[in-house]
Structure 1
Amino acid sequence: MNSTAPALSRTATGHRQPRDRRKLADNVAGWSFAGPASLIILGFSLIPMVWALALSFTDSDLQSPGQNVGLANYRALIADPVFFQALRNTGLLVVLYIPASLIAGLLVAVLLNRKVRGIGFYRTCFLVPYIASATSAGLLMGYIFDRDFGLMNGLFVKLGLPMQGLLSSPSQAMYVLTLIFFWTRFGFAVVIYLAAIQEINKEILEAASIDGASRWTTFRHIIVPSVRPMTVFLTIWGVIDALQFFDLVMTTTKGGPANATVTIVYYIWQLAFTYFTAGYGAAVAYVLFVGTLVLIVGGFLIARRKGAMA
C-alpha cells in the first residue's frame, strides 16, 4: 500500500502539471490577443473619462491647467439658458425620432420581407443613407432645405404654396433636422427588424394563415411580440444615438438660428473649442453621461420587468 500511494501521487502530479501548463499557455495566448485591444480601450476611453472628470472641477481653457473651482461649473448649469435650450432641443429630437424610427423601421422591414424580383436592391436603398457619410448627407440636405435656393422651397413654389424658412427658421429648423436625422438613421432599424422577422418560425406564420388570421392580426399578435427584444435594443440604441447628435448640426445650421438647433454635444463642442471654457464643457459632458446612463439602466430595468428581455 505504501508503494502504491507514491505512484498514484506521482501520476496525479504528472497529470496536473501538463494541465497547469496548458492553462497558463491558454492565458498567455488569450492575453496576447486581448491585451493590445484592452490597452487601446483603456487609453482612448477610460483615461480620457477620468481626465474629463478632473477637468470639470477646474476653469481650464485647454491651454493652461486652470485652477480648481470645485462644483462651480455644475452650479453654473442651473443658470445657463443655452444649456436648457440644448436640453430641450435634444429632448425634442429623442421624442420625435425614437417612435418614428421604430414604427417606420418595422413596417418597412415587413414590406421588405418578401420574395419579389429586385428585393435586394430595395433593401440596399434603405441602408445606403445609414452607411453614407454624415458630412455629405448634411451638405446635401443643407442645400435641399435652403430657404432661398433649396429644392424644397422650389417645390413649394411650383405647387403654389408659400416658401418656408426651413433651416433658417427658429420654429422649423429643429423639426427639419429631426427629419434629416430620421432619414439618415432609420435604415439601421430596418436591417435589425428584417433580421428578427426572418428568424420567426415559419410554421407559426403558416399556422396563423391556415387559421384565417388577417395580415394585421398576424402582424399584431405574432410579429410585434416576436421582435420585442429588438425593439428594446433599438430604443436604447436610438436614445444613445440621438443624445450624441452632432454631425448634422455642424454641417447644416451650426446651432442656429438663435440657438434653435443647439444640441447637448454641439454645445459641449462650442464650450471647449469656440469659447475655450473646457472645464465648464467637461461638466456639461458629465451631466450628459450621467443622464444617458440613467436612461439606459432605466430602460433595461423596465424592459426586464415587462418581460421584453430575458
Structure 2
Amino acid sequence: MSLGVRRAPAARRRRLLPDLTGWGFVLPATLVIVGLSLFPAVWALLLSLRDGDLITGGAFVGLQNYRDMLDDPDLLSATGHTLLYTVLFVPGSVVIGLPLALALNQPIRLIGFYRTCIFVPYVVSAAATGILANFVFDPQFGVANTLLQAVGLPRLGFLQEPGQAMIVLVVISLWGGVGLPAVVYLAALQDIPRELTEAARVDGASGWHVFRHVIVPQLRPATAFLVIWQTIEALQLFDLVYTTTKGQPLDSTTVIVYYLYQQAFQLFHSGYGAAVAYGLFILTLVVSSITLWYSRRGEATA
C-alpha cells in the first residue's frame, strides 16, 4: 500500500511536467501581451476621470468628462457620420462578398490567381489605400474624373465635396475590405456538405431555391461573424480618414476615432479623449451584442 501511495505523486508529477514546460515557454509572452492590453485600458480609464493632458495629470473630475459628452454637438455629429459609414459599409461588404465567394468557388482555370487578386487589397494597409485614393479621386488630375470626362459626364468633387466625401470613403473601404467577406464565405461554402445540395436538387429544387433554403442557412454563422467583425472595423475607422480627408470638407467625414484623436493629440484634452474612447467601446459592445443575440435568435427559430 505504501509503495502505491509513493508512486501516485510521482505519476502526477510526470503528467504535469509537459504542461509546466509548455507554460514556461509561453508565460513570458503571455504576460507581455496581457500587460500591453490591460495597462493602456486601465490607464485610459483613470485618465478619463481627470481633466488633464498626456503629460500632466490634471485635476480629478470624476464623471464630468462623460457628462460633457452628452452635450457635445461635435461628438454627436461625429457619431452620426460613423453610424452612416457603418450602415453603408457593413451590409455592402457582406452583400458584395457573398457573390464573389460563389464565383470564386467555381472550378475554373486560374482560380487561385483570382482569389489572390480579391484578397490582396484587404492586406494592403489602409494608409496606403488612402494615399492611392487621393490620386484616383483628385478633382483636378485624378483618374476618376478623367474617365468621367471621357464618357461625357461632368467632373465631381469626390473627397472635396461635403455631400460626396463619405460615399467615396465607403467605396474606397469596400474596395479594400471586401476581400475578407469573400474569403470567409468561400471557406464556409467549401464546408457545406455536398449531400445537402445534391439531395435538394434530387427533390426538384431549382438553383435559386437551393441557394436560398440550403446554402444561405448554412452560411448563417459566417454571416454573424462578418457582421460583427465589419461593424467593429467600421466603428473604429481612422487611418483612411487621416490619410484622405482629415475629417473635411466641413467636418463631413469626422468620425468618432478621428474626433478622439483631435481631442487627445491636437487639442491636448486627453481626459476627454479617453472618455470618448470608452464611450466608443461601450457602443461597439452594445452593437456587437445585439448582432450576436439576433443571430442566435435566428438560428434557434430556424
TM-score greater than 0.5 by the shorter chain: yes
Instruction: Indicate whether 1:261 and 2:253 are aligned.
Output: yes
Given the alignment of the two structures, is residue 111 of structure 1 paired with residue 103 of structure 2, yes or no? yes
Q: Spell out the pairing of 1:1-310 with structure 2 (5 A cutoff).
A: 8=1, 10-307=2-299
Aligned 8 A contact 1:232 1:308 in 2: no
Query: What residue in structure 2 maps to residue 5 of structure 1?
Result: none
Structure 1 residue 153, shift from structure 2 partner: 1.3
Structure 2 residue identity aligned to 1:146: D
Runs of 4+ in 1 over 4 A off after TM superposition: none
Q: TM-score, normalised by structure 1?
A: 0.93
| C-alpha separation in 2, matches of 1:295 and 1:33 | 37
Contact 2:79 2:255 in 1 (8 A): yes
Query: How much has 1:33 moved relative to structure 2?
Result: 2.9
Which secondary structure state, in structure 2, belongs to the residue aligned with residue 178 of structure 1?
A: helix
- Provide the rounded CA distance (Å) in 2 between the counterparts of 1:16 and 1:114: 58
Q: For 1:57 and 1:91, locate their aligned partners in 2 and report how far apart those are by CA, in whole Å.
A: 26
User: Which amino acid counterpart does residue 188 of structure 1 have in structure 2?
Assistant: L
Structure exhibiting the larger radius of gyration computed from Cα positions = 1
Residues 214-263 of structure 1, C-alpha deviations (whole Å, 9 max, x = no match): 22111111110111000001111011111111111011001111111111
TM-score, normalised via structure 2 length: 0.95
Identity over aligned residues, as a percent? 49
Gaps of 5+ in 2: none
CA distance in 2, matches of 1:37, 1:86: 37
**Deviation per CA, 1:11-37, whole angstroms, max 9, x where unpaired?**
331231113312442442232133123
Q: How many residues align?
A: 302
C-alpha distance in structure 2 between counterparts of 1:133 and 1:300, whole Å: 28
Query: Are the equivalent residues in 1 in contact too, given 2:101–2:185 (CA < 8 A)?
Result: yes
Between the aligned partners of 2:300 and 2:92, the Cα distance in structure 1 is 20
- Counterpart CA distance in 1 for 2:134 and 2:213 is 42
Confirm or deny: 8 A CA contact 1:246 1:266 kept in the other structure: yes
**1:91-133 alpha-carbon deviations (Å, 9 max, x no partner):** 0111111111111111110111111111111111110110112
CA distance in 1 between counterparts of 2:102 and 2:144 reads 30
Q: Which moved more, 1:113-122 or 1:290-299?
A: 290-299
Q: Is the contact between residue 170 and residue 257 of structure 1 (CA under 8 Å) also seen in structure 2?
A: yes
Q: Quick check: 1:145–1:166 contact (8 Å CA) kept in 2?
A: yes
Map of 1:3 onto structure 2 = none
Shift of 1:41: 2.2
User: Displacement of 1:157 after TM fit?
Assistant: 1.5
- Measure how far apart 1:182 and its partner are: 1.1
Secondary structure at 2:51 match in 1? coil
Whether the 8 Å contact between 2:220 and 2:295 is mirrored in structure 1 is no
> Is the CA contact (8 Å cut-off) linking 2:97 and 2:181 kept in structure 1?
yes
Q: 1:308 to 1:193 in 2, by over 3 A?
A: farther
